[in-house]
Chains A and B, each alone.
Chain A
Amino acid sequence: MKKNGVKMIKIKAKNVDVFYGKKQALYNIGLDIEENQVTALIGPSGCGKSTFLRCLNRMNDVIDICSVKGEILINDFNINDKSCDVVRLREKIGMVFQKPNPFPKTVYENISYGPTIHGMAQSKQEMDEIVETSLKKAALWEEVKDRLHEPGTGLSGGQQQRLCIARAISVRPEVILMDEPCSALDPIATAQIEELIDELKKEHTIIIVTHSMAQAARVSQNTGFFHLGHLIEHGSTDKIFKNPDNTKTQDYITGRFG
């Protein structure tokens, strides 16, 4: 999104290095992410795109041997700083995973969990409202409004993934990270999610990791291409797909490897 012709930058990564033990997974990544746009991260398996995504909400903290160096500024605040509170960070930065992972609880409880732990609703009524709007935004309300108190794990794969998206947006995050959200879904469910992503970008900044170049081309405005832990090239999706600067990008886009 441009304000007065200037791109609004939501996230600014500078010199990010990631190590798993002694093995380096990411090398000196620098990437700006535009606000209220969809940024796709593409690249062959093991290139570090998911690792980079997990840096943005510090999910790599969970892995003992993983260490992250460099600066990641979100709203000009370095989230790798010691003063950064992980719980508040993750409230602002939601995440949707590769495999749908609803809690083994009811649909309602799946959505209300985040607002509950962050104290966002004062009454049952407010919570009902949050659940309803979240499900509506995730285009799931019509399908589950009669089975809110049935297990979320009983939904179909595509519905489960939209439930996970509804869960992520229930706490009104500024950024939503999506780690290959459609790789476990059929083409129809994939189309629904892609439509949803387009809708969500009005209110959220979205970063999506995807294996499918077609998907990246369809949903994103900006694209970053990762290869062997390096960010080879990034820019507007149009440019990356039509007129890349780097030959590796060219080769990958045209399917010569990966």
Chain B
Amino acid sequence: MNKSKEQLLNKRYKAEQRFRLYGLSAIFMALLFLTIFIFKIFSTGYSAFQKTWLIVPVTFDAELMMLEQNPSNEDLQDADYYDIALKSMADLDPNANEDQENELKRMVSYFFEKEIKNELINNPGLIGKTKEVYLTASDDLDQVFKGNYPRDLPEDQRRVSDYQLKIFDQLVAKGKVESKFNISFFTYADSREPELAGIASSFMGSIFSILVCLMIAFPVAVLAAIYLEEFAPKNRFTDFIEVNINNLAAVPSIVFGLLGLGVLLAIFHLPRSTPLVGGITLSLMTLPTIIIAARASLKAVPPSIREAALAMGASRMQTTMHHTVPLSMPGTLSGTIIGLAQALGETAPLILIGMVAFVNTIPGSPMDPAASLPVQIYIWAESAERGFVEKVSACIMVLLGFLIIMNLFAQIIRHKFEKKWS
């Protein structure tokens, strides 16, 4: 081999090495960004899964509760808990003046009255006795306890007063502040108070929306795809339809929101802010995605299978239903899941049809007002309270978890089908 030829060969090897390096560094970059993103979300959000409780001694004084002797369950329900609740907070500092008593009351959430009530209803024998009750700490103290609160700011720039901090520190020193797993984040609906805000409403809203979306988009899209791919004659009209389906897939989602607003709400008067309307709007958006995926996987079925079935005397419908469609199902399903995952993360169209409204009830059906997870993220992200910062990240974690489970599910279905058909 002469020298120039050897040089040329070396050059080619070097070029390949360089190319591999570029590829590796691209993958490394992608992984790096992903890691940073996940780290940021987790480091901000993990504390939302903990909730701070103040342990406060409550004296269940029958007189203050306006209870008579041997109260029935109903009496307990109707009793007045406000006074004993207020008193137990005020008792934290026996020397407190009226303003300070007010500040003491604001150290817990406004649910404190209800929490005391539940304690008594669960254990009626407490009347006349004193018991330490777990009360949800206010969002600011929650953040103080988690170390997310800048205590060194001047007092007039803080929402927590020096007095509150002093009492709180005393409680901490006495071991009367506890952190527990935040169940209410999953069981409560949204609230203006970060310590009481949960994702139950938006989670159910998302599930209902996705179900409505799936039930409308999947059958319509699959039928459309089968017709276009297997039965429709190839002419200008079907070409026109094909072009428009592709165009539809590229339409910005907010436009579908306007459509939902203008048609579903304004003309058909469907209930505003509901997963029903949200799901229908999302299904319009998901349709082209599923149609394109289903057509692609129908196209991928080898024509020899169709010919084999036709030559056996199967009708076109039998050929399609017995052979082509089952073979295309794995691809169609994964396309559907991708479409649904897209719909699950969609915010703009839902905002337009009113799913951004403040909903503090948990929807029981697609006809009840609800938010959805991404909209919940949006609502919390624009709220001023410091307590919502961790909630936003926590909600993102739930949304991502939801997506991962969906994709996993799709993979499992796919795997099963593919095993069966090959």
Contact = CB atoms under 8 A, between A and B. Distances in A.
Nearest to B312: A114
A190 to B, nearest CB: 20
Contact of A153 (B311, B318, B422): B422
A57 B305 contact: no
B36 to A, nearest CB: 44
B304 A99 contact: yes
B43 interface: no
Category for how many chain B residues contact A: 20 to 34
A88 B304 CA distance: 20
A167 interface: yes
Interface string A100-121: 0111110000000110011000
Interface string A60-93: 0010100000000000000000000001111100
**Residue among B233, B304, B312, B421 with the highest chain A CB neighbour number at 10 A:** B312
B308 A103 contact: yes
A171 interface: yes
B422 A101 contact: no
B312 A117 contact: yes
B309 interface: yes
A64 B234 contact: yes
Interface string B181-203: 00000000000000000000000
B314 interface: yes
Contact of A90 (B234, B306, B311, B323): B311
B313 A171 contact: yes
Contact of A104 (B305, B306, B318): B305
Given A64-B233, A103-B323, A153-B422, A117 B305 contact: no
**Residue among B234, B311, B323 with the highest chain A CB neighbour number at 10 A:** B311
B401 to A, nearest CB: 35
Nearest to A100: B304
Interface in B271-311: 302, 304-311
Contacts of A102: 308
Nearest to A151: B422
Contacts, number: 64
Contact of B313 (A64, A97, A103, A118): A118
A164 interface: yes
A216 B300 CA distance: 35
A7 B139 CA distance: 100
Contacts of A57: 311
A102 B323 CA distance: 11
A32 to B, nearest CB: 23
Nearest to B235: A64
A177 B327 CA distance: 26
B315 interface: yes
Contacts of A88: 313
Contacts of A168: 311-312
A31 B302 CA distance: 32
B304 A117 contact: no
Contacts of B233: 64
Contacts of B327: 104
Given A101-B304, A101-B305, A59 B311 contact: yes
Contacts of A118: 313
A55 interface: no
B308 A91 contact: no
Contacts of B309: 103, 113
A101 B307 CA distance: 9
Contacts of A101: 302, 304-305, 307-308
Nearest to A153: B422
B239 to A, nearest CB: 13
Contacts of B322: 113, 117
A240 interface: no
A87 B313 contact: yes
B186 to A, nearest CB: 44
B47 to A, nearest CB: 52
Contacts of A40: none
A105 B422 CA distance: 7
Contacts of A97: 304, 307-308, 311
A90 B308 contact: no
A229 interface: no
A43 interface: no
A48 interface: no
Nearest to B419: A151
Contacts of B305: 101, 103-104
A52 to B, nearest CB: 16
A103 B422 CA distance: 9
A123 B416 CA distance: 30
A114 B302 CA distance: 19
A133 to B, nearest CB: 17
A176 to B, nearest CB: 10
Interface in A142-182: 151, 153, 164, 167-168, 171
Interface of A: 57, 59, 62, 64, 87-91, 94-95, 97, 99, 101-105, 113-114, 117-118, 151, 153, 164, 167-168, 171
Given A95-B307, A104-B305, A114-B312, 19 more contacts: A57-B311, A59-B307, A62-B306, A87-B314, A89-B313, A90-B311, A90-B313, A97-B307, A97-B308, A97-B311, A99-B304, A101-B307, A102-B308, A103-B305, A104-B422, A113-B314, A118-B313, A153-B422, A167-B312
Q: Which 6 pairs show the lowest CB-CB distances between chains A and B?
A: A101-B304, A95-B311, A90-B313, A91-B313, A114-B312, A101-B308
25 contacts: A59-B310, A59-B311, A64-B234, A87-B313, A87-B315, A90-B313, A95-B307, A97-B304, A97-B308, A103-B305, A103-B309, A104-B305, A113-B312, A113-B314, A113-B322, A117-B312, A117-B314, A117-B318, A151-B422, A153-B422, A164-B308, A167-B308, A167-B312, A168-B311, A171-B313
